[in-house]
Structure formats: C-alpha cells, structure tokens
Structure 1
Amino acid sequence: MLERAFSILLVSLAVLIGGATVAAQGEPTPPETPPPSTFNVFYPEEQALSDCLSSLPRPNCGSEARGGWAQYSIALAIVAGLGFIGWRIVRSARRSGAPRTPDATSVPDAPGGDPAP
C-alpha cells in the first residue's frame, strides 16, 4: 500500500514538473541584437573552412596574422627554459661526481676495522 502511494506521488510530481517545463517553452523570441561576426583573421575568406581545419591544412590556408614577434618570443622563452634546465642537470651531475673533501664535522674511521659505537 505504501509503495503504491509513493509511486503515485512520484508520477504526480513528474507530470507537474514536466507540464511546467512544456508550458514555459513557447515560441522563441528573436534576438534583439544580431549575433557577433564569425570572421576569423587566421583563416582566409576565399577558402572553405573545412579545407583549413585539419592536422595538414591545404595550401593558402594561412594568414598574415599568424606568427610574428609574439610567437618568436614564446619560442625563445621555451628554448631559454630548456637551456636552464639542462644547465642545472649538468651542474648537479658534475657536483655529484666530484671528489669530496672531508669537512670538520666528519668522523674518521677507527683504525682496525669497525668504528666505535
């Protein structure tokens, strides 16, 4: 009996909620302002967009807007960062391979074998 009442309640709620969303949907109102332009400076207007959007774009799909000082500065920053990382690796490798000199805090081994406890 309780299961039947619960299922009736769920169906009633679904009908009410579903009816409210259907009633809220009506004819869409037209936008007040036109959509923004879909012009893109990176793709030429005389080429089909499907020809230029691929991993291997066809000839004449480039533009003058690509490249320039911003692209070269990013490439320079990447090369400088990789150079810095390589320098740190070489420096660390040379330090770990260099012979170590004993410092004042090291304790020499006891003569005759095992160090004293």
Structure 2
Amino acid sequence: MPMLGDVLAAARRSSGDFMRWLEATDRDLVGRIAAAADPAGESPTSYVRAAVADFGQYASEDDWATLTSRLRDTDDPGTVCLRTMVEWRLTAEAAARRAPVDIKEEDR
C-alpha cells in the first residue's frame, strides 16, 4: 500500500487526468466543480489542485480519519483521495455560503 504522502503527491499531479476521468463517469460532480471554480476564475483542474491543498491545510482530524478509512477500503486510493478532497471542499464552501454573517461589536 502506498504511503499517504505518495497518494497526496499523485493526487496533485493527476488532477487533470482526474477531471478527464470524471467527465466520463460523473457529470454531476464535474458540473459542481465547474460551478464552484468559475466565480473564482479558476479552471476545474485548478479547483481540484486547490482542494488537495486546502484539505491538507484545513481538514479536521475527523476528515482525515474518514479519508484514511476510505483509502484503506479501496483498490484505487488516488481516485478515492481526490474525490474525497474535492467533495470536502465543495461541502466546506457550501457551508461557508450559508454561515451567518458576523456582526461587529460597534454595529450592535
């Protein structure tokens, strides 16, 4: 079994291949990635690369535990890793859009 660092490096390198594979297998996820990438001026491939970086920097211990469990239970760790990280970023961004706005102390 590859080490997690190897899987993450492969995920970063293969995000373009991942997008081509997704276009053939999961058009819904491709659409969600494109919709999320467009307002930020990112390409879908850049969005996937950013998802890997964001997951590495911001994911919680529970998110990492979920990822490692999924990696343990699959024959395709690269795809599972990328898909998990992309879904995590899409979910985090959706939650951020629904979050209440902070009211500054002087505005109260």
TM-score range, shorter chain: under 0.3
TM-score (norm 1): 0.25
Structure with the bigger percentage of helix: 2
TM-score (norm 2): 0.27
Instruction: With a CA cutoff of 8 Å and minimum separation of 6, indicate the structure with the bigger relative contact order.
Output: 2
Larger Rg belongs to: 1
